[in-house]
Structure 1
Amino acid sequence: MDDLLAADAAAFGRAAHDDLDAARAALARFKALPPETGALELLSALDQIGRAGDRSAGLSSLFFQAHPDPAMREAAGAISREQSAFSTELSLDSDVHARLAALSADALPDDDARRLLEHALRDFRRAGVQLPHEPRERVRELRAELVQLGQTFGSTIAGDVRSIQLDSADELNGLPDDYRAAHAPDADGTIRISTDPPDFIPFLKYATHRARRIELQRVAASRATPDNLPVLDRLLAARHELAGLLGFDSWAAYVTEDKMIRTEQAAGEFVARVSALAAPRAEAEAAEMLACLREQYGSDAEMRDGDRLYLQERLRASKYGFDTRDARPYLGFNAVLGGVFDVITQLYGVEVLERPEIVCWHADVRAFDLVEEGSPVARFFLDMHSRPDKYKHAAMFHLTTDGLPRAALVCNLPRPDGDDPGLLDPSQVKTLFHEFGHLLHHLFAGGQRWHAFAGIATEWDFVEVPSQLFEEWGRSPDVLPRFARHHASGEPMPAELIARMNRAESCGRGLDVRLQMLYASYSLECFRRDPASFDTGALMAELKPQFSPCPVEDGTAFQASFGHLDGYSALYYTYMWSLTLAKDCAAAFGDDLLDPAPARAWRQRVLSQGGRRDADDLLHDFLGRAPDLTAFGAWLDG
């Protein structure tokens, strides 16, 4: 795989088509097996079909989102569509299904093989293999269209970076010195602030100029408009039609069936339950924020989306004596990254070694190996900083699980540059640990006997548990002093500053939870309602007052840049569902987060299992009981 990391579009296209040809050949070999072929041999032949295309499938997804060359992004998108078409072809192949359906689970030697057969038959059913020819062909058409729609939706978001113009440096008041230095006036005296995360988030947190904050928030909430609005409408309609063909009332009903939560009704009940739990705290916090706003900006001021992060910082300072800007000098990017590596080594007994000789798709990208007992066991790539036409959030991209498992992290964090250490704030430290939680899950779950169970192959509403759990190490008072050192003096972050920071983290927690539930409710309703019956903008206007004290901003369309509506569809509830589980698991680590014993049990019983067992069983094995909401409730009240 490494020879493709710096390939041009033509070379990558040839390699990807070779992989597709290999997958087609593996499918042909499966079909050619004689009727007397044993059950285990038949499953092994099925397994080889998935393995054949693994290498280029992961890279095409990554390159489409993060490659700097437009020709490569275009080629990767085309390859992804071809790969998806082959996957659809396989999932609707009645001959393959018939061979598998004729097998007896009793003829298989172990639980893993029986589970593989059970899941394969389930997935064929959910794909529509049982349908008559005409609706099956319509399923094929819709699947192909949805891939194209998703690519268009995502690339429009990535390519639409907007900005506001400040008239003078006075409008940067409140911003940290390094931010101000990085935003010097142009020749005409104006200053550009973009919607890219390293610009956008600090400005909303610290800028005292309220009108500019609101302007920037409005601009950000208008990204990908108007282009993505008809794309979203068609995406909703196509998924609704597909769900109907497959025997479901809605896409939400279809997509939740094979998740931990099982039904869209249960997902809605979960959203309502968590929203109700957070409501008293959120209402009190909203009142505090409004009072703070009016104290600074006048008695008639009403809270807007562009105020929330700023007011949260003000209240952290007034209630807890903590200013996020005081923590940033201790959180240089390279120091924090080194801290993540140190934690991984301490917990799991693996070293992180850089591989500078590996040339990747951009000069920013760095390659690393996880080394255990002297041998590489996994490889990963870090693409950490913003650039044009790159994916705008943070995500892990699966690359391969065969041989040496590989994955890439794509983020948009501050870039160290000369004397500028690329200072992070605590929320960005949280993001980095979060994404490494995904990375470790994928890498430790590689190398399974069955390809379908390798990597992050659990139910989708479990996948955020390892990532949200790993966030705990990014704020631990035992861990932070190991890497949080002042970029100028080298002094560790003082214990009292860490204590104030962690106490202040709870500020605005109720409102934060309710905002997450707004996104969860919006995504669920988009996919549980008939898309012909509602307008996506009107739906936001209907739901937002139920969850947020801030009004919908006229002329904005947040949904046009809500990328999760493609990737997660109705499943945004996953983040809070997983958080309830992560808080329960965190309690099992006890007071010493650097004790390797529970971490290695977590690796053995959960991370390394991949998709071999249901998530409920993994959790019960680790916790010794069924999970509950006790720890989450304590966190919410904290």
Structure 2
Amino acid sequence: MTQITSSNPLLDISDLPRFELFHVEHIEPAVEQLLADNRAEIARLVAMTETPTWENFIEPLEIIDNRMERVWGPIGHLDSVKNSDEWHAAYTNCLQKITAYHTEVGQNKGLFEKFNAIADSAAFADYSLAQKKVIENALRNFRLSGIDLPEAQQKQYQQIKQQLSQLTSQFGNNVLKSTQAWNKPITDATELAGLPESALGLLQQLAQQKGLEGYLVTLDFPSYLAVMTHANNRELRAEVYRAFGTRASDQAKDTSFDNSQIIEQIRQLRHQLANLLGFKQYADYSLATKMAESTEQVLGFLRDLGKKSKPQAQRELDNLKAFAKAELGIDELQPWDVTYASEKLKNASLSLSQEALRPYFPVEGVLAGLFKITQTLFGVTLREKQDVPVWHQDVRFFELVDEAGAVIGQFYLDLYARENKRGGAWMDSAVSRWKHSGGELQKPVAYLVCNFTPPVGDKPACLTHDEVTTLFHEFGHGIHHLLTQMEHLDISGISGVPWDAVELPSQFMENFCWEREGLDLMSAHIETGEPLPDDLFAALKASRGFQSAMMMVRQLEFALMDFELHSFYNPEETEDILQLAKRIRDEVAVVQPPEYSRMLHSFSHIFAGGYAAGYFSYKWAEVLSADAFSLFEETGILNSETGAKFKNTILAAGGSIDPMVLFKAFRGREPEIDALLRHSGIAA
């Protein structure tokens, strides 16, 4: 397929995206051109009379898929990091066309027959493991796209996929808009007593950006968390807690972004989709591409963790209540007191607070430490590259260089929260590693996006320890994408990796934020340059187990809500989501939110992201990551031989080999839960 030349900058995939040239009017023409070209090439491939082979059939398909990622990827990316109503409207219009195209490809009998012909050919036996995996995955995905359905049901499948893509996009946009719709200007600084200087500076900066005097509290995470953690003003905490916990719901101040109906429609459509494909429930359909083998296995795993964690979580909460009553004068601990009282208790019992740690983690020092750890473990150097087109002035660009001095991958780093940027933190693929049929190797590029507290005034940004672990987490996803050795698109980096294994490298990297060897490389006081002192390190290490069971049951609550939503749906008698949430909380949670709480209405992971019936993956992969890290605890935290082994098994293989096979090759045995419970400070 020839490279299309066009004046539309979105269609130029010869180099990195030229973000400064992209305008909203480019989106629809680019997508229409892309889809027309792809359809023409697919028609040619289906019509060809030669026997299909890897070279004449699969390589041309890879060219199509690569172009899809390179053109459509930046459009979706900008919708997340530089959202505007105009851009989102054009993105949403195109989403319908993209969804229709993917469904059409998934139900193309001609393509399916040619893949089958390759799988049945004598040549297949001589293909590499990676090539075989690409073909096996494709055949599985055809079946999951309804290739075997009668025509009328295929049309129904297409309609459901269309509706779901629109609804999930709308869900995410409603969360963003509802988050932005609420703010609270404050002119009297005494109302914000307890907030550290860094947080006050942030709220001042937010007010200035809106042309206001004083301070502005918003629901962007750094602002929200600062108030919930530090504000002595209990009424303010309650007000902000309510605003955050009712976003995009019928209980929000502005109900125009209410996701209630959308949630019900998504549940119903997912169930219909699963039934169409012969699955009893959507959870069964979701597990068809995961490591976990059955809904019973997943629910058993989550409930087993719940049983082991809840008694300790209850003791932790009782301890917090007693402290809040005796030391803070809070007779009845409410949900909006929990984060505040926990921070005070941590400070009192461990002489530790996030703010005491913050000066030791200036962004530049943390990045230097992260890069040094990466170099020591994986033998790659990271260096910043200037003058690369970016979408915001704060965005930076880095290259990974191997020991021979060759660039092997690159990534964008977008660290700070700002208006019109989706909340949370994520890694996404900008370009996948792939060897073109001509022999040229396309190097991988990643987007790493966080929402940290930005620099205030002329002071450099410093991170809390929680933010440091978030950065390491996303970077773990990044190296999974960037250090792959795969050269086929469908199994390169995180592509083709089962969702419940994809969190292994990310959670693995978090461990270095808790070890002296790692912290010594990334911590230096912003003013004195002193490393993290022994007493603070000891307190930090002890804090890993602080309220860890409460945090564990909180994650289990989310995972069970998600999995039960998608495992027991009955269209005749649909369980109300609020009742379902309450039932799960009664079982595993120790903190019960107020009746107005609508957490599920902003649960973008499962209603706007890829985690539907898959949120359990965080805990599933945490067992793998904790057990993988225990080998470093045995051989040396920064042992380069163990690092090379991790790189050459887990990271290099991408999606080419079953993750359990890779894990056993690395660890020498099946995973065990003990390391997770030990790291979490939960008695087995």
Give yes or no for the alignment of 1:581 onto 2:620: no
Aligned-partner Cα distance in 2 for 1:39–1:192: 59
Residue in structure 2 matched with residue 171 of structure 1 by the alignment? 191
Aligned-partner Cα distance in 2 for 1:346–1:79: 44
Residue in structure 2 matched with residue 557 of structure 1 by the alignment? 598
Question: 8 Å contact 1:60–1:79 — kept in the other structure?
Answer: no
Aligned counterparts, 1:512-531, within 5 A: 512-530=551-569
Question: 8 Å contact 1:522–1:540 — kept in the other structure?
Answer: yes
1:35 offset after TM fit, Å? 4.9
1:145 offset after TM fit, Å? 0.9
Match of 1:631 among 638, 657, 675: 675
1:68 offset after TM fit, Å? 4.5
Aligned-partner Cα distance in 2 for 1:16–1:368: 29
Residue in structure 2 matched with residue 326 of structure 1 by the alignment? 356
Give yes or no for the alignment of 1:612 onto 2:679: no
Deviation string, structure 1 residues 419-446 (Cα, Å, up to 9, x no partner): 322222111111011010011111112x
C-alpha spacing 1:173/1:262, structure 2 compared with 1 (3 Å):
same
Q: Which runs of 5+ in 2 are unaligned?
A: 1-12, 251-257, 435-441
Moved more, 76-85 or 118-127: 76-85
Moved more, 57-66 or 273-282: 57-66
Question: 8 Å contact 1:22–1:52 — kept in the other structure?
Answer: no
What amino acid does structure 2 have at the position aligned with 1:26? E
C-alpha spacing 1:340/1:70, structure 2 compared with 1 (3 Å):
farther
Residue in structure 2 matched with residue 88 of structure 1 by the alignment? 103
Task: Look up the SS of the partner of 1:374 in the other structure.
Answer: coil
Question: 8 Å contact 1:394–1:435 — kept in the other structure?
Answer: yes
Residue in structure 2 matched with residue 381 of structure 1 by the alignment? 412
Aligned-partner Cα distance in 2 for 1:107–1:325: 62
Residue in structure 1 matched with residue 200 of structure 2 by the alignment? 180
Give yes or no for the alignment of 1:479 onto 2:528: no
C-alpha spacing 1:606/1:188, structure 2 compared with 1 (3 Å):
closer
Give yes or no for the alignment of 1:52 onto 2:93: no
Residue in structure 2 matched with residue 220 of structure 1 by the alignment? 244
Give yes or no for the alignment of 1:335 onto 2:365: yes
Moved more, 512-521 or 243-252: 243-252
Aligned counterparts, 1:16-31, within 5 A: 16-31=31-46
Deviation string, structure 1 residues 538-558 (Cα, Å, up to 9, x no partner): 222222222223223232311
Aligned-partner Cα distance in 2 for 1:93–1:365: 41
Moved more, 182-191 or 198-207: 182-191
C-alpha spacing 1:39/1:385, structure 2 compared with 1 (3 Å):
closer
Give yes or no for the alignment of 1:5 onto 2:19: yes
Residue in structure 1 matched with residue 639 of structure 2 by the alignment? 595
Question: 8 Å contact 1:57–1:80 — kept in the other structure?
Answer: no
1:144 offset after TM fit, Å? 0.9
Give yes or no for the alignment of 1:129 onto 2:147: yes
C-alpha spacing 1:299/1:382, structure 2 compared with 1 (3 Å):
closer
1:471 offset after TM fit, Å? 0.6
Deviation string, structure 1 residues 581-615 (Cα, Å, up to 9, x no partner): 11000011236322222112111111111110011
Aligned counterparts, 1:149-548, within 5 A: 149-161=167-179, 162-164=182-184, 166=186, 168-184=188-204, 191-226=215-250, 227-298=258-329, 300-301=331-332, 303-372=333-402, 373-401=404-432, 402=434, 403-445=442-484, 448-457=486-495, 458-530=497-569, 532=571, 533-548=574-589
What amino acid does structure 2 have at the position aligned with 1:114? K
Question: 8 Å contact 2:544–2:679 — kept in the other structure?
Answer: no
Match of 1:67 among 61, 78, 82: 82
What amino acid does structure 2 have at the position aligned with 1:452? D
C-alpha spacing 1:630/1:311, structure 2 compared with 1 (3 Å):
same
C-alpha spacing 1:25/1:284, structure 2 compared with 1 (3 Å):
same
What amino acid does structure 2 have at the position aligned with 1:134? A
Moved more, 63-72 or 188-197: 188-197
Aligned-partner Cα distance in 1 for 2:233–2:621: 37
Question: 8 Å contact 2:366–2:523 — kept in the other structure?
Answer: yes
Aligned-partner Cα distance in 1 for 2:234–2:570: 37
1:470 offset after TM fit, Å? 0.4
Q: CA RMSD in A?
A: 2.2
What amino acid does structure 2 have at the position aligned with 1:259? K
C-alpha spacing 1:221/1:35, structure 2 compared with 1 (3 Å):
same
Moved more, 76-85 or 179-188: 179-188
1:334 offset after TM fit, Å? 2.7
What amino acid does structure 1 have at the position aligned with 2:356? D
1:616 offset after TM fit, Å? 0.5
Task: Look up the SS of the partner of 2:383 in the other structure.
Answer: strand
Deviation string, structure 1 residues 215-256 (Cα, Å, up to 9, x no partner): 211110111123211111111111111111111111111101
1:408 offset after TM fit, Å? 0.5
Question: 8 Å contact 2:202–2:453 — kept in the other structure?
Answer: no
Aligned-partner Cα distance in 2 for 1:32–1:52: 21
Task: Look up the SS of the partner of 2:452 in the other structure.
Answer: coil
Task: Look up the SS of the partner of 2:652 in the other structure.
Answer: helix
Moved more, 385-394 or 460-469: 385-394
Task: Look up the SS of the partner of 1:412 in the other structure.
Answer: strand
Aligned-partner Cα distance in 2 for 1:173–1:299: 17
Residue in structure 2 matched with residue 570 of structure 1 by the alignment? 613
What amino acid does structure 1 have at the position aligned with 2:630? A
Aligned-partner Cα distance in 2 for 1:57–1:282: 45
1:188 offset after TM fit, Å? 9.3
C-alpha spacing 1:167/1:290, structure 2 compared with 1 (3 Å):
farther
Deviation string, structure 1 residues 341-372 (Cα, Å, up to 9, x no partner): 22222222222222221121222222221122
1:105 offset after TM fit, Å? 5.9
C-alpha spacing 1:622/1:57, structure 2 compared with 1 (3 Å):
farther
Aligned-partner Cα distance in 2 for 1:452–1:328: 41
Question: 8 Å contact 1:394–1:410 — kept in the other structure?
Answer: yes
Residue in structure 1 matched with residue 437 of structure 2 by the alignment? none
Deviation string, structure 1 residues 517-538 (Cα, Å, up to 9, x no partner): 0000111111122264111122
Deviation string, structure 1 residues 173-202 (Cα, Å, up to 9, x no partner): 222122223335999987432111111112
TM-score normalised to the size of structure 2? 0.88
Question: 8 Å contact 1:320–1:504 — kept in the other structure?
Answer: yes
What amino acid does structure 1 have at the position aligned with 2:132? R
